[in-house]
A and B are shown apart, each in its own frame.
Chain A
Amino acid sequence: MTNIVSLQKVTKDYGEGDALTHALRGVDLMVEAGEFTAMAGPSGSGKSTLLNIIGGLDRPTAGRVEVDGREINTLSKTDLSLLRRDRIGFIFQSYNLIPVLTALENAEYVLMLQGIPNAERRERVREVLKEVGLEGLENRYPRQLSGGQQQRVAIARAIVSEPALVLADEPTANVDSDTGKSLLDLMRRLNETKGVTFFFSTHEEAVMKRARRLLQIRDGVIFNDQAH
């Protein structure tokens, strides 16, 4: 199996002097293609920080970060932007859809950035929206959708470009537990049928249970790593 993510002794500090915070204190981690991994930990344990670093949104203070075979530290801002566009899908806690675009257009957005022709774009997006259970809602704007539906659009947006890795920061934290469960079922199914690699954070028991691999993080250190 190929390594999608490889972290060695990654640390991240915020602030300086009295305000100095060690958000990550030496994280070593490998994620392989096809994994469905959850990272659990209390609030402030460093989950978002770690996801941001893996996603190329932030740089580590020290340590080595490799994503899809590329060393983050050697990449320019533009290269990082391209890496995110082409190889990584993002799902955020608060959906973060573009309010002036319809469900279809939101899901289409990354393909548009990639310069994929209109017709092909539409076809792929429709298929994916169907897959996430939004058939018939393609032309709704985010404000016309429920939280769960919006997060489905976000999932469609993240996977439609077939990235090597989908990062999700507490994707179920903003929805009720039933909706959260069905979102997780959806991601799990996409992982199993299409081989999408998911790496997500959570602090909910129910979510942890559905992961195939569970990492536990506290105070910026991963102290437990087990397969389910």
Chain B
Amino acid sequence: MIVRLAWRSIWRNRRRTLITIISIGFGLACTVFFIAIAEGVYAQFIDQVVRMQAGHITLESPRYRSGPAVDIWFEAPESLRSQIERLPQVERTKLIILGQGIARSASGDVSVTLMGIEPSVELHTSPVVRHMVEGRYLNNQDGPWVVIGSGLAKRLKLGVGKKMVITTNDIAGNLVDELCRVRGIFKTGSVEIDGYFIQAPIAFARRLFDLPEEGATQLGVVLKTPQAQEAVLQKTRTMVSQQDIAVLPWQEVIPEIASYIKLDRGSNLIFQAILVFLILFTIFNTILMSVLERQREFAVVLALGTNPLLLRLQILMESVYLGLIGCALGLVVGGLAAWAVQVWGIDLSSLLEKGFTISGFAVSTKMHARVTIGLLLGTGGLVFAATLILSLIPMHRATRLSIVDQLR
């Protein structure tokens, strides 16, 4: 009967109840939608960056981080690679050599980052492959051929097939140079990458820097799902525990990205907190109002001998109904909207014609949301719990009234 009473009581003021439910639903839907979009952008972005760089998990010399240079190389034996690749969560591994140098053509010279890569692996992982605008990407048969960014091509007035010279120091510190030709030109949208980044086959890089077979600066591990990171990190660390090799998560290899995301999440959180706070304020008001205007009725039922706890239970039930309906509405609307963006994506290229970059890395203008059960349950649970907590004060008020004064 209390259940019935609570249910009918909330529908007494249909308009107010609808407003309350819609505020809960709207607030929750917005929260779910925006978090899902943000998480989707982060995930997509992280995925691209780690695939272009040194993977979700990076193996390198323990001394590399304190002075990143090609002479802090390490040996990544084939046996270790295949051991890691046998882990079920691992998509593939990629060997890279990262060094600095000067690229020179007849039209000038530019200081660049040179990345030696395995074309057959990179073909599957690197976003650079998808951004070729001229020529083609490298393959395993390519010898002294490189791909360069559109910005660099412009500065050095280079086209496909044209010659350039790379000058650098090898691992012993000798000044060396190598002639190479442009196989293709890419355009990612990032000024830094398009203007100062060169990829070359790893064999070419080894010859240039005078590195031995199996020598590299990083061995990257690309995962099938980012959630597996911690597990793979642990397993890989065990594998190399006897060797002089550091195993790092991407957060430590590209900390500027990790901290950017952290910061961005934080600022989103503040925005969402304000939104949720405003909505909770409305909810609090309507619950309090609905209690205050029924004081006389409450006095009557208390006079008839209703246990005050039962009355509180009834008011709590009313909030449970409001919260459940509102949260269900919010989760369905927000979840569906976010899910649609997850499946189809939103193309923002018309809005952001130049694209935008985070810490020099280009972000895809096609956004995909990322909805997880955890996100839905977490936000839904939070709003529901907040609704119940907010009803505690009105609930208390209802049973503290003076029966005699109310009935006069």
Contacts and interface: CB of A to CB of B under 8 A. Distances in A.
Given A57-B403, A113-B306, 10 more contacts: A55-B303, A57-B404, A84-B303, A85-B305, A86-B305, A96-B407, A98-B297, A109-B1, A113-B310, A157-B304
A99 B297 contact: yes
B259 interface: no
Interface of A: 48, 52, 55, 57-58, 78, 81-86, 88, 90, 92, 96, 98-101, 105, 108-110, 112-113, 157
A84 B303 CA distance: 7
B302 interface: yes
A108 B304 CA distance: 12
B5 interface: yes
Contact of A100 (B12, B296, B306): B12
Nearest to B297: A98
A81 B308 CA distance: 9
B82 interface: no
Contacts of B304: 84-85, 90, 109-110, 113, 157
A82 B404 contact: no
Chain B CB count within 10 A is highest, among A58, A82, A88, A113, for A113
Given A52-B404, A92-B407, A100-B12, A109 B301 contact: yes
B197 to A, nearest CB: 71
Interface in B302-339: 302-308, 310
A101 B303 contact: no
Interface string B394-408: 000000000110011
Contacts of B1: 105, 108-109, 112
B83 to A, nearest CB: 69
B24 to A, nearest CB: 22
Contacts of A85: 304-306
Interface residues of B, number: 22
Chain B CB count within 10 A is highest, among A81, A86, A92, A101, for A81
B408 A113 contact: no
Contacts, number: 59
Contacts of B300: 92, 96, 98
Given A98-B5, A99-B12, A100-B9, A90 B306 contact: no
A100 B303 CA distance: 18
A48 B305 CA distance: 18
B130 interface: no
Interface in B271-301: 296-297, 300-301
A113 B5 contact: no
A57 B303 contact: yes
A79 B297 CA distance: 21
Interface string B219-244: 00000000000000000000000000
B8 interface: yes
A101 B297 contact: no
A112 B306 CA distance: 10
A206 to B, nearest CB: 25
Contacts of A83: 305
A83 B306 CA distance: 11
A96 B212 CA distance: 95
Chain A CB count within 10 A is highest, among B8, B303, B307, B308, for B303
Interface string B361-387: 000000000000000000000000000
Contacts of A101: 5, 8
B305 A113 contact: yes
Given A52-B404, A96-B296, A82 B5 contact: no
A81 B311 CA distance: 13
Interface in B1-44: 1, 4-5, 8-9, 12
Nearest to B9: A100
B314 to A, nearest CB: 11
Nearest to A112: B1
A112 to B, nearest CB: 5
5 contacts: A58-B404, A83-B305, A100-B12, A109-B1, A113-B304
B303 A90 contact: yes
A55 B297 CA distance: 18
Contacts of A55: 303
Contacts of B305: 81-86, 88, 110, 113
Nearest to A83: B305
A57 to B, nearest CB: 5
B307 A81 contact: yes
Nearest to B408: A48
Nearest to A84: B305
Contacts of A84: 303-305
A128 B297 CA distance: 23
A-B complex: 8 closest residue pairs judged by Cβ atoms: A85-B305, A100-B8, A84-B305, A96-B300, A112-B1, A58-B404, A57-B403, A81-B305
